[in-house]
Structure 1
Amino acid sequence: MTEAATAPGAPQHLRDRARWATTAAGRWSSRLPSTAWDSLLSALLLVNVVTTRPAQELPLPLALTAALTLPLLWRRRAPLTVFGTVAATAFAQWLLGIQLPADVALLVALYAVAAHAGHGRRRYDTLIAAAVVEAGVLLACLRWTTDGAFLTPFVAVTATTVAAAVLGVNVRTTRAYLAAVEDRAVRLEQERERQARLAVAEERTRIAREMHDIVTHNLSVMVALTDAAVYAQHRSPDRATTAMLRISETGRQALTDMRRSLGVLRTDEPDAARHPLPGIAQLAALADQMGAAGLPTRLAVHGPHAHVPATAQLTVYRLVQEALTNTLKHTPAGTHAKVLVRCTTGTVAVEVTDDGPRAPRPAAVPPSGHGIPGMRERAAAYGGTLAAGPLPGGGWGVRTRLLLDSGGAASA
């Protein structure tokens, strides 16, 4: 029945019931041996009293033995209470002058205090309990030793008392160490799961940002080229044909970029379909594409860029692409754009400006848009801040500087 309930196809309530039964059985099996041993000890000591005492003397020794041993069944739940009960019974036994083998229960109760006492004052509880037992040992040796043989039994029983206390402390320490190790393992597992969730969320954000840049840019270019082709189809068929070819080329490039960005999500994607990431070297082609779409763009790259990591170059490319796409969408015909990239040993500065009108652009920083926020996220990954806004002499500008020795560069 258990196997059927825990099978993958079993209903959820059956699987929950089987899991509960298994857990309960495990807890019962872990508690059964200790309880059984305590019960067996009590039974043996009671049998010893019955078999070694005359019938007329049985009631009092039997009652004392029961009072000494039966509380041991609760020694793990209430060790201090059990020890107090056993110690009081042992003192009453000493006052009555009755010797019983059940005095071993006092050592078991001391062990329980050392092993199972609460977290607050258990060190002092163990010392106090050991002192009480030692006082009982002294009283017992003074009363029942004969022929002056006091020292030998006193030392022997004292050593047994110390051994019981030390054994209980060791068991408690071992249990606490194992609990700490288990808690650490659980926390490490939770931390790994949290890191995995963060990695997944970060990867989803990165892919969403890539898809936004690819789709927005290419669709804006295709729309602009389509308008140009429609306008020129009667007056200049050659220019219309060129524009349509540009549209086709832009669409194929968009498909390639999407396949490359989404290819990491598929294990069966061939490596041949994954083209190199666009970088600073591809900015010239991007400027030509924007010029064909109706936004003449001038590009200037200062300094060598071979030392710039591939992911940092991709960030530069996407920043320029998004800035030019915004200019293409929100400025009238005749606007010109300028892209300036400065590469140094530890930084890459990017500046994209245009000479369009200073009128507010509704979609430049929309309340729910992703363009400017996505650009800020890309710049922040390399320790940079992005400034976007109107220029004093007219037009719009986007500026940022990437730090190549920041956390983003290191992860790249």
Structure 2
Amino acid sequence: MHRLNAWLRRHPMVVDSVWALPVLFLGLVSSVEQERGLAGTVLMAVLLPLLMVFRRRRPNLTTVAVVGLGLVQVALNIPPGASSIAYLVFAYTGAAFGTEWTSRLALAGGVAAGPLTLWRFDENAHEPYNWLRVIFFSGLMTTPFILSWAWGRLTRVRRAYLIELEDRAARLERERDAQAKVAVAAERARIARELHDVVAHNVSVMIVQADGAAYVLDNSPQQAKEALGTIASTGRQALVEMRRLLGVLRTSDTAEEYVPQPGVEELPELLEQVRTAGLPVEYTSTGDPAELPRGVELTVYRIVQEALTNVRKHGGPDARARVAVDFRDRDLEVLIEDDGRGTTEEQMAAGGADGQGHGLIGMRERVGMVSGSLDIGPRPGGGFRIRAVLPLRTAK
């Protein structure tokens, strides 16, 4: 049924031809019964249904032609027949499908149809003192034309409204697709930052362990063996995470389960890995631990990871670090301090000696996404300090 309706909408002449057939039949039958003007009534009975076939394909032309035929019918004194119902159809057609001037012409023709028909074909209309009867029957004959024209205007308004809805739906669909593309791009950028964090942290651990293994290889083979084992496990962990991240980047899907989402609970494991790499780290947690939004969980983990990576790179051989997490009612404070030779803000912004990372920029982006605040600067007495406050309720 839906396909049939769609096909009929694409072929309006078929529907109009079906409606024109009974008008043609009735017009020819009524023409035979006419006592005068047989040729004219037959001609009108054929032309009016023929114009009905093309009324939606050429609404302006057919409406003008029908108005002209009506005037010719009045001028030649051709009596109206059953085919005259087509005039109502064209009053509707001009209002529904024609231009503005065609609609006005159809209205004017409809208003004039009643008085002209009565004046031309009713002999009693010319009698004196019969004006009340003329007004009454003129209005009675004009009313169907006005109603047909009004129906056509309503059809035009409804069609314009439906077209506007379709345009709006298409525009919303385009906007949705554009927003989806923006979201995908933002997600890929986030994954790229994740990839940087994974690589920077694990490679830094591997470098430190490799240097330590080379240093103690001759004097302490057992320590060198442990260092090599740490390098192997760290490399395997980095490889697994990189494969997950790159797998997401290679496809159009950004399913969340493929992206590693470490949180505050994984901080002790991270700190143990850092200690194994040779950086002493003290960890304290105050307040009542609560379930945090995943965005805050990941932000805390990445800030601590990035900060300790920079301490290992720039803090010096004797640097020590402290990580403090304070759970509050409305926010969460994360503090990372070190007593090394000092990590400059420029080094933090570069994210490493090669200057190819995200460092401070990545931290600020992460904190900004959860509407938090970030303070970075030298620590009184030497070293460096990073303090982040993440509002819990705003981030939800």
Q: Identify the residue that residue 138 of structure 1 maps to in structure 2.
A: 115
Residue 219 of structure 1 deviates from its aligned partner by 1.5
Cα pair distance change 1:219/1:143, threshold 3 Å: same
**3-state DSSP of counterpart to 2:11:** helix
Alpha-carbon distance between aligned partners in 2 of 1:99 and 1:53, rounded to the nearest angstrom: 8
Tell me how far 1:159 sits from its aligned partner: 3.5
Q: What CA deviation, in whole Å up to 9, does each residue of 1:317-355 have, x standing for no partner?
A: 111101211222344322333323332222222233333
What is residue 312 of structure 1 aligned with on the other side? 296
Per-residue CA deviation, residues 242-295 of structure 1 (Å, 9 max, x unaligned), is 323433443454456557878999xxxxxxx99995332432332332233132
Q: Residue type of the partner of 1:95? A: A
Say which of 66, 69, 73 aligns to 1:86.
66
1:223 and 2:207 aligned: yes
One-letter code aligned to 1:364: G
Q: Give the equivalent residue in structure 1 for 2:324.
A: 340
Alpha-carbon distance change, 231 to 367 in structure 1, aligned in 2, over 3 angstroms? closer
The counterpart of 1:98, out of the listed 78, 94, 107, is 78
Aligned-residue identity in percent: 36
| Matching residue of 1:400 | 388
Count of aligned positions: 374
Using the TM superposition, give the Cα deviation of residue 231 of structure 1 relative to its aligned residue in structure 2, in angstroms.
0.3
Match of 2:149 in 1: 165
Q: CA deviation at 1:48?
A: 6.3
In the other structure, the counterpart of 2:336 is 352
In 1, distance between residues paired with 2:388 and 2:88? 76
TM normalised by structure 1 equals 0.72
Structure 2 CA distance for partners of 1:112 and 1:259, relative to 1, 3 Å: same
Structure-1 separation of matches of 2:226 and 2:208: 13
Q: 1:263 to 1:345 in 2, by over 3 A?
A: farther
Contact 1:42-1:70 within 8 A present in 2 as well: no
CA displacement at 1:316 relative to structure 2 = 0.2
The correspondence for 1:300, drawn from 284, 296, 302, is 284
Comparing 90-99 with 318-327, greater Cα deviation is found at 90-99
Please name the residue that 1:10 is paired with. Answer: none
Distance in 2 (CA, whole Å) between partners of 1:333 and 1:96 is 115
Separation in structure 1 between the aligned mates of residue 258 and residue 30 of structure 2, nearest angstrom: 87
TM-score by length of 2: 0.74
Deviates most, 197-206 or 315-324:
197-206
CA shift for structure 1 position 146: 4.6
Q: Which amino acid aligns with 1:400?
A: A
Distance change in 2, residues 1:392/1:79 (3 Å): farther
Opposite residue 284 of structure 1, the aligned amino acid is P
The answer as to whether partners of 1:79 and 1:116 remain within 8 angstroms in 2 is: yes
From the superposition, tell whether residues 276 and 35 of structure 1 become closer, same or farther in structure 2 (CA, over 3 Å): closer
- From 95, 98, 103, the equivalent of 1:114 is 95
Cα separation, 1, equivalents of 2:190 and 2:377: 25
Q: Which residue of 2 aligns with 1:324?
A: 308
Counterparts of 1:159 and 1:388, CA distance in 2: 83
Distance 2:355 2:259 in 1: 34
Q: Is the 8 A contact 1:336 1:356 kept in 2?
A: no
Q: Using the alignment, how far apart are the partners of 1:211 and 1:368 within structure 2?
A: 13
Specify the code of the residue in structure 1 equivalent to 2:67: A
The verdict on how the C-alpha distance between 1:344 and 1:64 changes in structure 2, with shifts beyond 3 A counting, is same
Amino acid at match of 1:250: T
Contact 1:342 1:350 survives alignment (8 Å): yes
Q: How does 1:248-267 map to 2 (within 5 A)?
A: 248-254=232-238
Q: Which deviations, in whole Å up to 9, do the C-alpha atoms of 1:357-393 show, x marking residues without a partner?
A: 4666394377753344333332222012545555676
Specify the code of the residue in structure 2 equivalent to 1:130. L
| Alpha-carbon contact 2:92-2:152 (below 8 Å) kept | yes
Distance 2:8 2:316 in 1: 77
Is 1:380 aligned to residue 368 of structure 2? yes
Letter of the structure 2 residue corresponding to residue 111 of structure 1 = Y
8 Å contact 2:13–2:53 — kept in the other structure? Answer: no
Letter in 2 for 1:291: R
**Structure 2: how far apart are the matches of 1:145 and 1:275?**
88
Aligned residue for 1:19? none
Q: Once superposed, what is the RMSD of the aligned Cα atoms?
A: 4.3
Q: 2:336, 2:387 within 8 Å by CA — same for their partners in 1?
A: yes
Structure 1 unaligned regions, length at least 5: 1-21, 266-272
Rounded Cα–Cα distance in structure 2 between residues aligned with 1:260 and 1:96: 88
Partner SS for 2:390? strand
